């Protein structure tokens, strides 16, 4: 009964179109001082007329060489900008104006230091950062928290790239014409960060000085025993398991995550029709009271091994309303933990991630 009441209150509020806009902040990992550099999604254009603004603050010391490198949705480099800052300085960069004449650019922005305006190097001093998204047509606003390379407060390897994980979970009300769920995924490609053997990315890893922290998904016991590269050179295959709110399995879903991927699970994911189904023909059970989904990175060549990592944000919104939007970072964890009942297994720097 408690589940029925809680779900009813959430869906009822969305359908009523009443309330204030919500843009949740991040957790301690994402919003703490970033020691070396950050990576943040940005989105412009679209049906909402989105405008993206990058905010960077230098509360500890100056970052005269602060530099931004912009990538598109497939992690191809499309532009850059400098934002020199003094101690306690805060600066803003409007993405569309910076990347003009490109029309409605979206993707990821890498922020760190530079010596030549091209390659990046670790920050001189730690920063705080985020991206503001303003919907000029629907009146809504969102905030993307940064993916930090390492924390100023925790500089040991156990905290490198902490927001990037191998699995996650989210709740979604039943998909209708009035209520929709959107999942924004970030799966960086190798053009962002170097691997141990290639020099593709703007974040150099072990192939120059100074270098950034190493991010490596090491192999699990069911794999070949060879360490995987930091990020994929192509898009990342992903899968998920959908349950109703009484823990009854409904459907497997499959999808692809690239550098920046914005999906409506109900229409963009294979098997995603379950999110709007009142009765699933497969088992007679539907998503009337909403669904709980577990998603994870998968390796199509080896079910026991992951390939890459991701961060994601969930949005549940009332269509046609300028008020109701539930937006924030997704709940994450390791594939080994979240997919334990499915036999999932992965390691991150010899630590379960």
At 56-93, the pLDDT tens digits run 999 999 999 999 999 999 999 999 999 999 999 999 99
Which helix (H) or strand (E) segment holds residue 12: the answer is helix 2-16
Give the mean pLDDT of 194-199: 62
Global pTM? 0.82
Higher pLDDT, 120 or 350: 120
At 227-258, the pLDDT tens digits run 344 567 788 889 999 999 888 899 999 999 99
The strands making up 291-297's β-sheet, listed across from edge to edge, are 249-257, 236-244, 291-297, 167-172, 331-333
**Range with the lowest mean pLDDT among 15-24, 81-90, 126-135, 244-253?**
15-24
Q: How far is the first Cα of the chain from the last one, in angstroms, to the nearest whole number?
A: 35
Higher pLDDT, 342 or 37: 37
In terms of Cβ atoms closer than 10 Å to its own Cβ (0-12, 13-18, 19+), residue 86 is: exposed
49/43 Cα distance (integer angstroms)? 10
Domains in the chain: boundaries: 2-342
Q: Which sign, positive or negative, has the C-alpha torsion 98, 102, 103, 107?
A: negative
314/6 Cα distance (integer angstroms)? 19
In terms of Cβ atoms closer than 10 Å to its own Cβ (0-12, 13-18, 19+), residue 323 is: middle
**Residue-averaged pLDDT of the chain:** 78
Tokens 């699990």 correspond to: 220
Reply yes or no: is the peptide bond before residue 210 cis, omega within 30 of 0: yes
Instruction: Read off the pLDDT band of 42 (50, 70, 90).
Output: very high
Cβ distance 14 to 316 under 8 Å? yes
Higher pLDDT, 335 or 209: 335
């Amino acid at each position: 009964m408690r589940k029925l009441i809680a779900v009813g209150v959430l869906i009822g509020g969305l359908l009523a179109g009443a309330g204030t806009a919500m843009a949740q902040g991040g957790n301690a990992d994402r919003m703490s001082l970033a020691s070396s550099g950050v990576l943040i999604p940005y989105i412009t254009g679209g049906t909402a007329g989105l405008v993206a603004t990058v905010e960077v603050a230098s509360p500890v010391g100056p970052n005269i060489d602060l530099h931004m490198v912009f990538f598109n949705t497939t992690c191809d480099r499309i532009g850059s900008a400098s934002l020199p800052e003094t101690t306690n300085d805060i600066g803003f960069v409007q993405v569309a104006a910076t990347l003009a004449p490109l029309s409605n650019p979206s993707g990821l922005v890498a922020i760190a230091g530079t010596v030549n305006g091209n390659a990046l190097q670790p920050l001189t001093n730690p920063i705080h950062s985020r991206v503001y998204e303003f919907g000029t047509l629907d009146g809504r606003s969102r905030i993307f928290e940064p993916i930090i390379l390492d924390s100023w407060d925790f500089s040991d390897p156990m905290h490198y790239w902490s927001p990037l994980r191998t699995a996650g979970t989210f709740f979604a009300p039943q998909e209708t014409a009035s209520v929709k769920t959107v999942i924004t995924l970030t799966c960086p490609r190798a053009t962002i960060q170097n691997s141990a053997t290639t020099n593709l990315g703007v974040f150099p890893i072990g192939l120059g000085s100074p270098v950034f922290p190493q991010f490596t998904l090491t192999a699990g016991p069911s794999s070949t025993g060879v360490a995987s590269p930091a990020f994929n050179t192509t898009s990342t295959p992903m899968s998920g398991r959908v349950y109703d709110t009484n823990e009854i399995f409904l459907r497997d879903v499959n999808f692809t995550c690239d550098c920046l991927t914005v999906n409506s699970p109900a229409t963009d994911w294979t098997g995603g029709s379950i999110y709007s189904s009142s009765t699933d023909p497969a088992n007679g059970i539907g998503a009337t009271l909403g669904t709980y989904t577990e998603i994870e990175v998968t390796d199509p060549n080896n079910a026991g091994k992951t390939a890459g990592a991701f961060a994601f944000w969930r949005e549940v919104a009332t269509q046609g309303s300028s008020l109701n939007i539930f937006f924030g970072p997704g709940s994450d964890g390791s594939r080994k933990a979240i997919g334990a009942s499915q036999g999932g297994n992965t390691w991150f720097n010899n630590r379960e991630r």
